[in-house]
Amino acid sequence: MREYTNEDLKLFEEIKNGKTFDANSEMPEIYRKNLLNLLWMQADSEYAGGLGYMPWIAKAPNAHERVLVAQIVKDEMRHAHVIYKILDDLGEKTHDHMLAHEFDWRLPDDLANIGFSRAKKDKRVNIFYYQITHWEDFCLFNFLMDRAAGHVLEDTLNSSFIPWKNAIGTICKEEHMHLAHGDKTVKEMAKNPEKRAFLQDRLNIWWPRVMNTFGKSTGSGNDIYQKLGLKNRSNAEVRAAFVKEINDKCAEWGLKVPDYVESAQPTENAYH
């Protein structure tokens, strides 16, 4: 259990009572450290995600889908730019950071499951280390991960850091378009018994990867984000809201949501 100083406890109370920060504010170290961690995680994930989607502009099944994929890539790159700009305003050197890491790198094993561990030293959420090998993967990524991201981002709509709060609204709207694409394409594929079987196989692979992005249900990491006004809900609460939506849709479409055991996920990193 983490112990907090009297200064920390005073800060938590002030934030609870409405205290906010902007880029020019004098920030306590505990606030700045946790804020930067969340911002780097989002920025690197948006950037790595956009790079992972890019090949599907050419590989999508028809011209209409290629236009939609191109729009999604554009959105992800814009999101990354917005968050990197916030980091720049906080004095971080985002250009140097981007040059120092291979954001298009992916795990060589299509069936890998690295659990909660990391594969590189960048800050992306670890689902962006996995390959998008099939069109079904791309659609499932929109259906699952963009929905998960939407839940996480919506939890920051009332962030105590004003520049982030101001940026999140538009980003959330664009993420909703991405998950709408996932809903439409996954629903259509699930109607076809031949396509449904392969779709179910790929859902079984992606499900634990997506569930792991919410982090562990226990631990002090998310607790401090709530105390600092950077998140509203616990990992478990956000995950439960996401799972309910997926369960409802999969039940309607004839897909089975795989079982997920948090304690069974790997924690050792075999790739780093």
- With 0-12 / 13-18 / 19 or more C-beta atoms within 10 angstroms meaning exposed / middle / buried, residue 92 is middle
C-alpha angle 211-212-213 in degrees, rounded to nearest 5: 90
**For the chain, what are the domain ranges?**
27-257
Distance CA 22, CA 29 (A): 14
> What's the Rg (C-alpha) of the chain?
19
Enter the pTM of the model: 0.94
Q: What's domain 27-257's superfamily in CATH?
A: Ferritin, core subunit, four-helix bundle (1.20.1260.10)
pLDDT of residue 272: 45
Q: Where are the alpha helices (DSSP H) in the chain?
A: 6-16, 29-53, 55-59, 63-89, 94-100, 135-140, 146-154, 162-191, 193-212, 221-227, 235-253
Ramachandran region of residue 217, left (φ > 0), alpha (ψ -120 to 50) or beta?
alpha
Of 243, 208, 251, 226, nearest in space to 34 by CA: 226
pLDDT digits (tens, 9 = 90+) for 197-221: 999 999 999 999 999 998 887 655 6
What would the DSSP string read from start to end of 98-120?
HHHS-TT---S-TT---TT--SS
What is the 8-class DSSP label of residue 245?
H
Q: Which residues of the chain have pLDDT under 50?
A: 270-272
CB 127 within 8 A of CB 210: yes
pLDDT of residue 201: 97
pLDDT digits (tens, 9 = 90+) for 227-260: 999 999 888 888 999 999 999 999 999 999 999 9
- List all residues 6 or more positions away from 187 whose beta carbon is below 8 Å from its beta carbon: 249, 253
